[in-house]
Chain A
Amino acid sequence: QSVLTQPPSASGTPGQRVTISCSGSSSNIGSNTVNWYQQLPGTAPKLLIYRNNQRPSGVPDRFSGSKSGTSASLAISGLQSEDEADYYCAAWDDSLNGLVFGTGTKVTVL
C-alpha cells in the first residue's frame, strides 16, 4: 500500500504547465528528501528529480521539483508530447524503515 498520495491523472496541452502533487507525512516527506521518477510507456522508470529539486544530467530544465512540509510537487513547464508518462514520487519512511513510492500520476498531453 502506497503511503504517498498523488492524483491519478493530470493533463495539459503542448506548452502548458502541469503540476503534480505528492502528499505524505512527517515520517517520510517531512523528514527525508523526495525523488521523482518518470516511466514512459513500456519502459523502466528513470530518475527525474532527486533531493527534492535537483535534476540529473540530461533532464531538461522544464522539469522542476519542490518540497514544503509533508508535501512535494513536480512541475512540467512547456509540456511536450514526449512527456506523456507515469510519474512517481518516492521518499524514505522512518516509521516503516523502508522506501515508499507515491500512487503514481499519469500525465496526458492533449
Chain B
Amino acid sequence: EVQLVQSGAEVKKPGESLKISCKGSGYSFTSYWIGWVRQMPGKGLEWMGIIYPGDSDTRYSPSFQGQVTISADKSISTAYLQWSSLKASDTAMYYCARCYVVRGVILLLDYWGQGTLVTVSS
C-alpha cells in the first residue's frame, strides 16, 4: 500500500528556520516525483514544487522559487520542505504528494500525505 507520512504540526516564531518531512513507503521511492502543495487557512491549493528522489532533480513554482527549499534523502525514502526564515504568511497546511510526471509535465498527484500544519506567530 502506497503511503506518504508527514511530520507533525509545528509552531514557530517569525525568523526561525524549519524543515518538515514526508516519508514514502509501499512503492519505489526513487522512481516517482514528490510534490509539495500549500493550503493557506480557508484557501485553495497551490503547487510549490517537485523533486525526483532518484537524482534530486528539483523544479519550483515561480511563486515559491527562493522562498523554500525542497530536498530528499533517498536512503530513508524521505522528502523535505524547508524554510530558512519563516514569516507569518507561511502559516498554512502543507501537503506532500506522489506525482506522475512525463517529460517535465506533472500529469497527476495520485497519493497524498496527511498534511503538516505550520503556524508562524510571535
Chosen A-B contacts, 5 in total, with CB atoms closer than 8 Å, are: A32-B105, A35-B107, A44-B112, A50-B108, A88-B44
Query: How many residue pairs bridge A and B at CB < 8 Å?
Result: 58
- Is A99 close to B, CB under 8 A? yes
Partner of A96 from the list B44, B62, B109, B113 (CB cut-off 8 Å) is B62
B45/A45 in contact, CB under 8 A = yes
Output the nearest chain B residue to A50 by Cβ-Cβ distance.
B108
Q: Label chain B's interface by main secondary structure.
A: strand
Number of interface residues of B (CB under 8 A): 21
Number of interface residues of A (CB under 8 A): 25
- Is B56 close to A, CB under 8 A? no
A46/B45 in contact, CB under 8 A = no
Residues of chain B with a CB closer than 8 A to A33's CB: 107-108
* Minimum Cβ distance to chain B for residue A99 (Å): 4
The A38-61 residues at the B interface (CB cut-off 8 A) are: 43-47, 50-51, 56
B108/A88 in contact, CB under 8 A = no
- Is A102 close to B, CB under 8 A? yes
B113/A104 in contact, CB under 8 A = no
B113/A44 in contact, CB under 8 A = yes
The B41-94 residues at the A interface (CB cut-off 8 A) are: 44-47, 61-62
Q: In the docked arrangement, what's the CA distance between A65 and B91, Å?
A: 33
Residues of chain A with a CB closer than 8 A to B113's CB: 44
B95/A101 in contact, CB under 8 A = no
Residues of chain A with a CB closer than 8 A to B46's CB: 101
